[in-house]
Amino acid sequence: MKNYSLGNMIRAGAWGAILGGAAGFAVGLLLAPEEGQKIRRRVAFQLEKLSGQIGSIVEQVSTESQDSDARREGNELVEDAKQRAQQIRDDIDELLGQVRKDRSSRAASTG
């Protein structure tokens, strides 16, 4: 069984709605009582307009999906960097504590 991401399901639903709407629109125009030449011109204009809208919707949906993937990956990288930085700080604090302890031990033994 295939697992579909939310972005893929939204994209498929958007395509279905757009194509269904376009088909219904075209059939409605073709069955409307107007002259043939007028209808063809009107259908061509509306299909051109619709294709532009479809292109922008698809681009927006795919960009949102890419953004969310990039954002998630970026957040993971930031969290990993924070953890590593904290580990480095802890290591430095530990080393400084050892150096201070060694200094005070040497000072006490020589003094």
Share of the chain above pLDDT 90, in %: 0
CA distance 87 to 89: 5
Whether the Cβ atoms of residue 10 and residue 18 lie closer than 8 Å to each other: no
Rounded Cα gap, residues 12 and 106, in angstroms: 73
With bands split at pLDDT 50, 70 and 90, how would you rate the model's confidence at 98?
confident
Identify the band that residue 96 occupies on the pLDDT scale cut at 50, 70 and 90.
confident
Domain boundaries, the chain: 6-110
Residue 92 has pLDDT above 80, yes or no: yes
pLDDT of 85 over the 80 cut: yes
Instruction: Report the alpha-carbon distance of residue 46 to residue 41 in Å, rounded.
Output: 9
What is the token pair recorded at 36? 């043939």
pLDDT digits (tens, 9 = 90+) for 27-74: 776 676 667 677 677 777 877 887 788 778 777 776 766 667 777 888
